[in-house]
Amino acid sequence: MAHLFIFGLGYSAQAVKLAIEARGWKTSATGSAGDVPFDDDDAVQAAIATATHVLSSVPPDAEAGQDPVLERYGAMLAGSGKWIGYLSSTGVYGDTGGAWVDETAPIGTGRRSLRAQADAAWLDLGARVFRLPGIYGPGRSALDRVTQGRAHRIDLPGQIFSRVHVDDIASGVIAGFDAPASAYNLADDLPASQNDVIAEACRLLGLPLPELQSLDQAGLSPAARAFYGENRRISNGKARRVMGWQPRHANYRAGLRAVLSASAAG
């Protein structure tokens, strides 16, 4: 039986797990929602031995300055002969001033230097590296932020970023099962400003727009403020050409409608 073993059963990996199980696959995973303790070397080795595919969604450890999965299990994975995947970030590209960026662009110039190092190390291991922009979906979208009064509209004209619905991450990973080892951007077709996304969420919910603020007025956390310091459009052309993947939710409008429908149905 096809068996996917996941390091780190977080939000995106959960979507992959559900999509794979719907196809009759067996899954196992580390993480608080998983069934294999990460620090149990024997249990992890047994899971890898029986798995046909291995996916890591574990980010680098900023305090330790390394990727915990590669540090502990990299040698085991290198000799396993398994299909290997890694969920990375388009943050590895850094700021492009709003220009389009694809997988030929250099990485490691932005604020996520550790992520870029891990990205490169997984590629060296022969993984399919899926670079993800802003992730959203049920329970984690602009709709939730607007409803909870946490949405911000920041006065930064020209600030653009890309995003991807969590279900499109799952379909992208599955498409990568038959693709060569390489890096692939998984993003929708319409980069847009955060303000446009918030405005659409307000329209769908019938709620007023939050006040337009400066970065200083918004009182953002350092991490959230750093997000606004980078500006880029992510091309998904390679994933389309090589993997035959295309986003089901081609833009934030379609994606937010899908999230709202799922919420109403649930």
Percent of the residues in the chain that have a pLDDT greater than 70, as a whole number:
100
pLDDT value at 118 more than 90: yes
The whole-model pTM stands at 0.96
pLDDT, mean over the chain: 95
Nearest to 161 by CA among 132, 189, 193: 193
Band of pLDDT at residue 69, cut at 50, 70 and 90: very high
Q: Indicate the DSSP class of residue 210.
A: P
The two three-digit tokens of residue 163, written as one number: 């995003």
Give the integer Cα–Cα distance in Å for 129 and 112. 16
Band of pLDDT at residue 221, cut at 50, 70 and 90: confident
Nearest to 99 by CA among 235, 189, 232: 232
As a whole number of Å, the CA-based R_g of the chain is: 19
Biggest distance spanned by C-alpha atoms of the chain = 56
Domains and CATH numbers, the chain: 3-265 (3.40.50.720)
Band of pLDDT at residue 266, cut at 50, 70 and 90: low
Element (H, E) at 31: none
Predicted local confidence at residue 111, as pLDDT: 74
Q: 82 and 52 in contact (C-beta within 8 Å)?
A: yes
